[in-house]
Amino acid sequence: MENTLETINIEGTEFIMAQLKKLTRKSRKSSPMDEVYAYHGLTKKQFNKRHKNNPSYLKAYDKEVLIVAFYNKGDELDWSNSDEYKYYGYFVMNSDTFRLFDVNVRSENSNAPSALCFKRKSDAIEAYEKFFKEIKESRLGKL
């Protein structure tokens, strides 16, 4: 009997089932924050150690700052340029119904700290969806 490996084609790439199982196990262990930590040269353990003696709201805020910086990819916001928009989320803040209300735009001023302003609206929307738990914790404190 011939030994064949079962394969699957995903978007033009062939994977054997063992590879997919390994990728699946790895993805279950990781979170979207792992990519953010890696971008900043951190691990989750290092981040937690950095905030060992800090209140949870500072840790949550710092996590949100890291997320925004990850999406901005080093692009600086130019607050003297009225043609450059900056994006910031507005949220319904009731802990039972916490949700994104709108992503607003500002050019020369902000209703939020500059560290929480996105350069691109699409990045803001994606981040608020992908990192909903982290954003909620940042806005409402430890939940």
Written as one string, the DSSP assignment of 60-92 is HHHHHHHHHHHHHTTPPP-TT-TTS-EEEEEEE
Q: Residue 9: what residue type?
A: N
Write down the domain spans for the chain: 1-30, 32-140
Contact indicator for 127, 71 with CB cutoff of 8 Å: yes
pLDDT per residue as tens, the chain (143 positions) = 444 578 888 878 887 877 777 766 765 667 899 999 999 999 999 999 999 999 998 999 999 999 999 999 999 999 888 889 999 999 998 878 899 999 988 776 667 888 999 999 999 999 999 999 999 999 998 65
Q: Tell me the pTM.
A: 0.77
